[in-house]
Structure 1
Amino acid sequence: MQVIPVLDLLDGHVVRAVRGERTAYRPIQSRLAAASEPLTIARALLAASGARTLYIADLGAILQRGAHASTLAALRAALPGIDLWLDAGYTDYASMLELFNHIDAIDQRNGDTAQHKLATLVPVFGTESLRDRHALHSAETAGLAPILSLDHRAGQLLTAVELERTSAWWPSRVIAMTLDQVGSYAGPDLTTFERIRASAAAHTTVIGAGGVRNRADMTAAASTGATAWLVASALHDRQIGAMQAESL
């Protein structure tokens, strides 16, 4: 099972997420690096996991306090060959495109214009923010391979507006996001993951998120059919690493 490291950005720092209680998030204290500077932590997470994908939650944008556009542009320029899955609280396709264009403009101003040398930005649309489900189709049409995050708390789907409850509109990749489990060291929510996987179309890849503490949790998650899981705290605390991930 692939481990996808998670970078949570808030007020210019990487923060440690705990149960989705964002007002309580504090700058990360990690065994991987001494500081909470985004690029340093991003490189440490990628090295620790052996991943070529980095999930970024721009909590400033999600909380409507402003996106970390300059930080995101710097990460994109400094991490060639990496896929950056970016959840920035998009409400629709236009808001996603506005941020992506802003990041492009910053890269161009900084002289980072060789697109093949930049990390690939992949939009993640979270149901807690999404107001127009057609945004996913628009992003697919634009060739952006969007991901849908089905955001849950207390077993309930979090939505900004009423969304169609069937999986007919889901893209080819979906995240089973259980905010209660994030940073909780309470174990992964396999029940929610399995329910979502059972309702997904055959061609849909479902990715888990939250709660993984150690190798045993990774093995349990892999046994449900998960091919990837979003992980942060267990990497920062050196409870799992690249060799363990590769052996599953």
Structure 2
Amino acid sequence: MSRGSEATRPEVVPVLDLRHGAVVRARAGERHAYAPIATPLSPSAAPAEVARGLLAALPARRLYVADLDAIMDGAAPDRAALAAIRAACPGVEIWLDAGFSTRPAVEAVLEGGLARPVLGSESQADAALVRWCGTRGILSLDSRDGAPLGPAALHEDPESWPPDIIVMTLSRVGAGTGPDLGALAAVRARAPGAALYAAGGLRGPEDLAPLAAAGAAGVLVASAIHDGRLRREHLGA
């Protein structure tokens, strides 16, 4: 890449999906079918080991953690796994999606310094929690196969959006079919000043320039790192 393209290259945010205390491999957003991950980056599916392996393969400032037990079953966040990840990756900011839908749940994470909460639209009843959390959290605008998940008003009202927004296309997660540039551009048109993070479908370094052109400040990635399709030399790291 040229020096100019490096200046606009999206930030890569490695992803860990947690289920029953282990990191699982995402496949097309079909969460019930996710199995414990087998990866050359880690000797096991233990969250701390996988997190350490991801950052060794591709250094990053932050990690995105999806607690699927919390998102799918309403369980409390896996604090033991989060503590292990924090200990293994000192100085790295954790973005946590744990199906947050109430103020007490968000407050518990913020007050404990556990992570920065990600408020997924699929978990919301309306925009009230997103507005209340404000800049302390990240909004994830979730969709599947082109259909927005969660309250339609939340997807359509940029006045309720915080400055950091994830554009999550669940059907592309782990599928390697390419990022959803159309969804990203649609959100960019509504929120030109927001920092947008694309999620789902990254194939490799060839997708970074189109993401930047579509307005992405960053991209959430797991499979392409584990499979070696996105490596530190692609980022000049």
TM-score surpassing 0.5?
yes
* Cα shift readout 1:180-236 (whole Å, capped 9, x = no counterpart): 110001111111111111111x32111111101111122222222212100000000
Q: Is the 8 A contact 1:91 1:132 kept in 2?
A: no
Partner of 1:191: 182
In structure 2, list runs of 5 or more residues that go unmatched. Answer: 1-9
Question: Per-residue deviation at 1:65?
Answer: 5.2
Would you say 1:46 and 2:46 are equivalent positions?
no
2:38 counterpart letter in structure 1:
Q
TM-score by length of 1: 0.85
**1:75-224, aligned counterparts within 5 Å?**
75-99=85-109, 104=112, 121-140=115-134, 145-159=136-150, 161-164=151-154, 165-200=156-191, 202-224=192-214
Q: Is the partner of 2:224 in helix, strand or coil?
A: helix
Would you say 1:64 and 2:54 are equivalent positions?
no
Partner of 2:6: none
Q: Number of aligned pairs?
A: 226
Alpha-carbon distance between aligned partners in 2 of 1:239 and 1:10, rounded to the nearest angstrom: 24
1:95 counterpart letter in structure 2:
A
Question: Per-residue deviation at 1:133?
Answer: 2.1
1:179 counterpart letter in structure 2:
L
Partner of 1:34: 43
Would you say 1:10 and 2:19 are equivalent positions?
yes
TM-score by length of 2: 0.88
Identity of aligned residues (%): 41
**RMSD value over aligned CA atoms?**
1.9
1:69 counterpart letter in structure 2:
R
Q: Is the partner of 2:160 in helix, strand or coil?
A: coil
Q: Is the partner of 1:128 in helix, strand or coil?
A: helix
1:21 counterpart letter in structure 2:
E
